[in-house]
Structures are given as C-alpha cells and as structure tokens.
Structure 1
Amino acid sequence: MAIKKVENGYEVSFRVNGRGSREHRKVFPTKAECERFQRYTIAQFETQADVKPWLEKPKDMRCLSELVELWDDTHGHFLRDSKRRKSKILMIVNELGNPAGSSLTRLEYTRWRTQRSKEGKSPKTLNNDLGYMSSMFNTLIKAEEIHYPNPLADIDNVRVPERELSYLTHDQITELLDETKRGDNKHVYLITKISLSTGARWGEAEGLTVQRVRNNQVSFTDTKSGKNRSVPITPELFEEIHEHAKLTRSNNIFTGSITSFRRALARTTIELPKGQAAHVLRHTFASHFMMNGGNILTLQKVLGHSDIKMTMRYSHLSPDFLEEATRLNPLSNIK
C-alpha cells in the first residue's frame, strides 16, 4: 500500500490480491481515511472470497412425502387433528405423483385441482387442500428445513358460493323438541335444548361435563376455534341439566347422540338444505338472537367466532337493518 500527500489531500493506492489484481486508487482529506478505506476494501474482498459457488448446496430433490414427514415432526403432530391432517396431505401428495417439492409448479397443482373439481369436489374442499399444502411449505420454510419459496404461494382460493343459512321457526322448534322426546335416546332432547339456548355446536353440547355447568352458565372447551367460552343459561335449564346428570351417574353428562337426533329430525316435517342437520340449531339461536334485537358483537362472543365476518352473516336479520331497508329504499317516499 502506498499513501502519499497530494495537492488536495492524501492519495492511497493498493492491490488487494497482489500483482495482476485490480488496483484501488482514491484521494481523501486525511491519511487516516486512506487507511480505513484500505482496511474496508480488503475486508470486503476476503468476505467475497469465502463464497465458493462450486460448494453451494445442490438443488433440494426431496420428494413431497419426505417433506410431509419433516412437517409432521416439526409441527403437524402438535395439531389437534394431526392424524387426519397428515393423512389428507399424503393423499394429495400421492395424487400429485409425489414429485420433488422444489419441482412442484403452480401449473401442475392447478391442473390437479381442476381435475378434482370435475370429479365433484366442492370449492370448500379444494380450498382446504390448498391451505393444508401451502401451510406445510410455509412451516418448513420457517423452520429452515427447506430453502426455496413456497411453490403454491400465489395460487388463489376457489370462490365459495355463500351457503343458505336456514333457521327454525317457533313452530318448527316445538315440533322438533316434541319429536326428540319420543325417541329411545334419553340425551338427545336435552342436548337439542342446550344447542338452541346457547348456539353451541352439537359436539360442544354433547361433550359437557358436570364441572362445566356452574353458576347458571355452561362452559365449552376444546372448541373449533381453540378458545374456551362460557354462555349463560336460564336457572330452569341449569337445574334440568343437573337433574339429568344425576341419572347418568357420570362426569360426562351425555353420550353420543347425533344419530338419534338425525332420526328425530327425519320424522318431522322440517326440510333443510344439504349438510345442515344439527348445525341448524346453532343457526336458529343466532338468527333469533338478531331478530330479537341482539348485539352483533355479543353474538360473536357467544358463538366463539374468531372473525366478525362469520357473525355478520346474521346481521341482515336485525330489526334495525330490516326497518332501514323498508324506510330508506327508493320507493319509500313515492305516494
């Protein structure tokens, strides 16, 4: 290295890799700045020299089934539905032909999804498939198990038509409760009443224990959203549940009763859209809650919705909404 004083400061000139390498020449106001520039330039060169392209990792050719096992070890086995989720992902992997994860393309996946749609799979199922696969890639990237981008990241969900939300009228509620009393299952009537009174899913009501019915409240745990919630009930229903628990002589108040409910529903005159058997009880609670002037945020908490958008499906049943629709429509002021 050579540093010499020049007319407007100090000039430094040096080569970082000996004769034949590039010469660095620069002028600074002080000699100290020349020295700092030289040290910085040499450090940059040495850092770059440590990068050896011929030693870079080869392309990751692990097949999707191997990635599923990695995902299961890293994250999957902690999920509540771990076995079902893993089985579902492996089914998708098998149908895709189990390619290397790094070789999977958006086009390849969307063509497979189109074929699934032609076979009659619903948009919701197709979106669940995409969600499971994309989540697997994201988890592995976060865990630094793979070092390439999520190949499915830019694929959009299939648009899902909004489902009809049926609810029972007062007459239908009476008819259904009468029918559930007539069956040979001693639990189905009371589970139905709890679902209608609290908006609980059938499995949540069916899984109640004695400890979860206290102080005129029922508490639901291990829910779909993963959050516990408590809902008040009338003193009459509270007593009815505890009297029933005495008969069962068990900490679990009820046993599996969904089949008996479906049989009771089939004996009524009630007709429902496909897939809305016991779930109509939850819709009925929410619909009557809003029609009776309930608050949408309170309903969200009672139902345990993590996203208010789910609860807003019932907002059109609010009396205020209905009143404004009739009062503010364009024909309202025409005589």
Structure 2
Amino acid sequence: MSIEQLPDGRWKVDVEPVKGRRFRKTLKTKAEAQRFEATCRTLCVQSNNWAPRPKDRRKLSELVGLWFDLHGISLTDGLRRAAILRASCKALGDPVASTVDGAKIAAVRARWMANGVTGKTANNRLGYLKAVYNELHKLDVIDYPCPFSRIKPVRLQERPLAYLTKPQITELLDALKARSTSPHPALVARICLATGARWGEAQALRPDRIRGNALVFANTKSKRVRMVPVTAELVAMIQQHWKQHGLFTNCIGVFRQVLLSTTINPPRGQASHILRHTFAAHFIMGGGHIVTLKEILGHASLNMTMRYAHLAPEHLNDAIRLGPLTQL
C-alpha cells in the first residue's frame, strides 16, 4: 500500500510510479499524502527526470553567503550589508531560512529597539533580510518567496530638514580655514554648497571631471553621471588647490570635528549632509524650480526632492492668499 498511517497519527507515502523511481515522504494529514502520491505519479509520467525537491534545510547564514557571492559582491556597499546580515543571523539564532516568519522577525526587532537601535536602523536591517530572500528567489537558488514579506517596517516620524543660514555658512567656512588640520575640507565643503553634491562625490573629483565651468559627478549613489554648472572662480580655485596640495583625500573626519567646534548644532546624522540640504533649501527659497533641483541633486524620484517644496516662497504666499480667512 502506498499510503499508510503511522502510530503517531502522521501519514507515510511510499510510491513507485515507474520502476526504479521510488519516493517516500511523511505528511501530517491523509489528504496531503494523497495529493503528494498523485503529484508524483502524474509528474513522473510527464517527465522521467522529475523528482520532488527535498525540504530546504539550509541555515539563514548559508543564504546570506550565497546572496553575497551571487549578488552582494557587485554592490557598492556589499561588504557592509553582508556584515549587518551576519549580525542579524546571529540575533535570530541562525535558524533554518525557510522557517523564519514574521513573528520571529518582529521579536528580534523589538529586542533591537529595546536596546536603543533606532527605527530607521531596524527598518534597514529588515529590508536587507528581505532582499536576500527576494534576490535568491529570482535567481532560483530557493524555491520559496520571502516568508515574512507581509511584516511592515516601523513607521518613522519625519524629521525637519536642517540647513545653514548665510551667517552660519560664513562661520563654517571661516572655521574650516582657521582650525582644520587638512587643507582639503574647506574647499570640499564649498563644492558641496555650490552644487548640492554629497561629500563623497565632491571628495572624489578629479581633473578629468571638470568640463569647462561644470563639475561632473560620476561616483553617485544613484549610479548616474550628472553635470552641475559652477562659477569660473570656483573652477580656478579647485585647480589652484590641486597644484598646491594635490587631489582631495578622505577628510570627512576633520570636517566633523571643525563643525562641532562651531555654534552650529546639526541634527544627528546630518553632519556633511547639511551642506546638501543647504544648497537645496537656498535654491528653492531663491525661486528655483523643483524639477531642476531634482536633476542637480541626482534624485531618482521627484518624491525625494519634494521634501524641499515647502521652502518655496510662492508656497508660503499661497498659505496667505488661499487661506480660509482671506475672504472674510
């Protein structure tokens, strides 16, 4: 008999649809056992090479290793993500990957946040884990989708974007000239303020990326090359600086130290990024178009740029012109 009940109540299937092709499996219910037997018989008739896949018992850490070898290694921040994923595996107890569910993820996320991990960091870790399953599923390394795809990220309170006023810009540039232990941060900061570039993009500038009176940023977060016009005076300043001091080196640490020594109190996590926000804020307040700003900043989506829309002067005037008390 191909189906029989075991003493513990489970049902054992022992079927040999064709000579030499024998399949055994233990299932919880008789209906599942009957479906498995029928599937084996049908698919063996359709294809002599078919065999049911054994249950995937690989650990989560094994999938992380496969993800890095097949996909993560090609990412700019692949090594950093792999380290975060390995730590997440450890926090979860490195379970069998197919058994990870929403309840396990929610429990470890709660522990993280109880230990002081921010909601944004917890969401990033959750997103990285989902990406492992999704990418390996697309590559046919696993035959099941992400088992916790329905768990939602923590809803975060949006923070107001900080930017520097013109007196603060002057204070910062003066401090970088007077107190910096490196000649580079003052000019890198000036480039960020003039173009809205990220610190890493400005720091990576090379002579071949100056095209007339424009700077070309090629090492961008969105992987797109973009060109931003600047003044002839800034181009001359950059070229003269390189002649005297050489190309820019990694000087973000010096910039942060000098910034903290000023009266400026940037929000947490917005040290060098406050320069990018400053460019965007002054651009919009000066009457610049939001779509033009999107292209200058290199945002992939206009939704990112819309964070600055409330700073437009016409936006503020409309609050007065169109308000409910205007007609009274």
Counterpart of 1:105 (choices 83, 101, 107) is 101
Q: 1:10-159 to 2 correspondence within 5 Å?
A: 49-50=45-46, 55-159=51-155
Question: In the alignment, does 2:323 pair up with 1:317?
Answer: no
What amino acid is aligned across from residue 208 of structure 1 in structure 2?
L
Q: 1:159-198 to 2 correspondence within 5 Å?
A: 159-183=155-179, 184-198=181-195
Q: In the alignment, which residue of structure 2 is the partner of 1:27?
A: none
Residues 240, 126 of structure 1: CA spacing in aligned structure 2 closer, same or farther, 3 A cutoff? same
Secondary structure of the corresponding residue to residue 180 of structure 1: helix
Deviations 1:94-140 (A, max 9, x none): 11111111111111111111111111111111111111111110111
Aligned-pair CA distance for 1:259: 2.3
Contact kept, 8 Å, 2:188 with 2:202, in 1: the verdict is yes
Following the alignment from structure 1 to structure 2, what is the Cα–Cα distance between the partners of residues 46 and 167? 67
Q: In the alignment, which residue of structure 1 is the partner of 2:36?
A: none
Following the alignment from structure 1 to structure 2, what is the Cα–Cα distance between the partners of residues 142 and 72? 14
Q: In the alignment, which residue of structure 1 is the partner of 2:4?
A: none
Counterpart of 1:298 (choices 292, 295, 314) is 292
- Decide which moves more: 109-118 or 261-270: 261-270
What amino acid is aligned across from residue 193 of structure 2 in structure 1?
L
Q: In the alignment, which residue of structure 1 is the partner of 2:263?
A: 269
Following the alignment from structure 1 to structure 2, what is the Cα–Cα distance between the partners of residues 267 and 70? 45
Aligned-pair CA distance for 1:73: 2.2
Deviations 1:213-265 (A, max 9, x none): 221111112211221211100011111111111112x4xx2112222222322
Structure 2 stretches lacking a partner, 5+ long: 1-40
Q: In the alignment, which residue of structure 1 is the partner of 2:22?
A: none
Aligned-pair CA distance for 1:331: 2.0
Following the alignment from structure 1 to structure 2, what is the Cα–Cα distance between the partners of residues 269 and 94? 42
Q: 1:278-297 to 2 correspondence within 5 Å?
A: 278-297=272-291
- Count of residues in Structure 1 that have an aligned counterpart in Structure 2: 286
What amino acid is aligned across from residue 260 of structure 1 in structure 2?
V
TM-score (norm 2): 0.83
Aligned-pair CA distance for 1:50: 4.3
Q: In the alignment, which residue of structure 2 is the partner of 1:39?
A: none
Secondary structure of the corresponding residue to residue 322 of structure 1: helix
Deviations 1:12-46 (A, max 9, x none): xxxxxxxxxxxxxxxxxxxxxxxxxxxxxxxxx97
Following the alignment from structure 2 to structure 1, what is the Cα–Cα distance between the partners of residues 230 and 87? 44
Q: In the alignment, which residue of structure 2 is the partner of 1:238?
A: 235
What amino acid is aligned across from residue 149 of structure 1 in structure 2?
P
TM-score (norm 1): 0.81
Q: In the alignment, which residue of structure 1 is the partner of 2:6?
A: none
Residues 266, 47 of structure 1: CA spacing in aligned structure 2 closer, same or farther, 3 A cutoff? closer
Contact kept, 8 Å, 1:164 with 1:273, in 2: the verdict is no
Residues 46, 93 of structure 1: CA spacing in aligned structure 2 closer, same or farther, 3 A cutoff? closer
Q: In the alignment, which residue of structure 2 is the partner of 1:247?
A: 244
Structure 1 stretches lacking a partner, 5+ long: 1-44
Aligned-pair CA distance for 1:48: 7.0
Following the alignment from structure 1 to structure 2, what is the Cα–Cα distance between the partners of residues 167 and 87? 33
Following the alignment from structure 1 to structure 2, what is the Cα–Cα distance between the partners of residues 274 and 329? 35
Following the alignment from structure 1 to structure 2, what is the Cα–Cα distance between the partners of residues 195 and 60? 50
Deviations 1:171-194 (A, max 9, x none): 111111111111232112111111
CA root-mean-square deviation: 1.9
Secondary structure of the corresponding residue to residue 221 of structure 2: coil
Following the alignment from structure 1 to structure 2, what is the Cα–Cα distance between the partners of residues 304 and 231? 10
Identity over the aligned pairs, expressed in percent?
45
Aligned-pair CA distance for 1:266: 2.3
Aligned-pair CA distance for 1:267: 2.7
Question: In the alignment, does 2:226 pair up with 1:226?
Answer: no
Q: In the alignment, which residue of structure 2 is the partner of 1:3?
A: none
Secondary structure of the corresponding residue to residue 157 of structure 1: coil
Contact kept, 8 Å, 2:44 with 2:51, in 1: the verdict is no
What amino acid is aligned across from residue 321 of structure 2 in structure 1?
R
Following the alignment from structure 1 to structure 2, what is the Cα–Cα distance between the partners of residues 326 and 104? 53
Following the alignment from structure 1 to structure 2, what is the Cα–Cα distance between the partners of residues 232 and 58? 60
Residues 239, 149 of structure 1: CA spacing in aligned structure 2 closer, same or farther, 3 A cutoff? same
Secondary structure of the corresponding residue to residue 214 of structure 1: coil
Following the alignment from structure 1 to structure 2, what is the Cα–Cα distance between the partners of residues 259 and 47? 63
- Decide which moves more: 58-67 or 284-293: 58-67
Q: Which has the larger radius of gyration?
A: 1
